[in-house]
Structure 1
Amino acid sequence: MANTPSAKKATRKIARRTAVNKARRSRMRTFTKKVEEAIASGNLEAAAAALSVAEPIIMRAAQKGIVHKNTASRKVSRLSHRVHALAQA
């Protein structure tokens, strides 16, 4: 357990940041799932709309350090490929 005042303050700060990061990560996952559900239903318009909403949220998570930049790019790329494949079908 933290004993010094600075260690106690650091523990409080970490708890606050963890809560913020958890919310951002959850939001990113929620919007990713919305895109995947739209793709699974075969609705191109809904999938494209969900992707346009999800993409900035995913990239913002990368900017904030929730996920790595390359991970975010990979997620967006894979989702967009799936939406475009739906358009081709």
Structure 2
Amino acid sequence: MANIKSAEKRARIAKTRTLRNTSRKSAMKTAVKRFEASLAEQDNEKIEANFKKAIQLIDKAAVKGIIHPNARDRKKAQLAKKTESGPGIKR
């Protein structure tokens, strides 16, 4: 346990930020899972909406420093590839 007042404050801040980051990362993962579920349903409107939402949350997570920019690019490329090759997609 910290003995110095500023160290105690940093510990409190770290705990708060950890919770916030965990929440944002979880929301990002959920959006990706919803996108993949809409691919299975083969509903083009849902696919487009979920794709945009997933990309938005992935970008936001990278800007906030939750994931690395290279991880952001990799995830976005993987989703785009699934969109192009997914069943029921006509492009």
Calculate the TM-score normalised by the size of structure 1. 0.90
8 Å contact from structure 1 (residues 44, 83) kept in 2: no
Pair 1:70 & 2:61 matched: no
Q: What is aligned with 1:82?
A: 82
- Aligned-partner Cα distance in 2 for 1:85–1:2: 53
- Aligned-partner Cα distance in 2 for 1:17–1:30: 20
What percent identity do the matched residue pairs reach?
Answer: 35
- Aligned-partner Cα distance in 1 for 2:9–2:41: 48
8 Å contact from structure 1 (residues 2, 8) kept in 2: yes
Pair 1:6 & 2:6 matched: yes
Q: What is aligned with 2:19?
A: 19
The secondary structure found in structure 2 opposite 1:78 is helix
Structure 2 runs not aligned, ≥5 long: none
Structure 1 runs not aligned, ≥5 long: none
The secondary structure found in structure 1 opposite 2:2 is coil
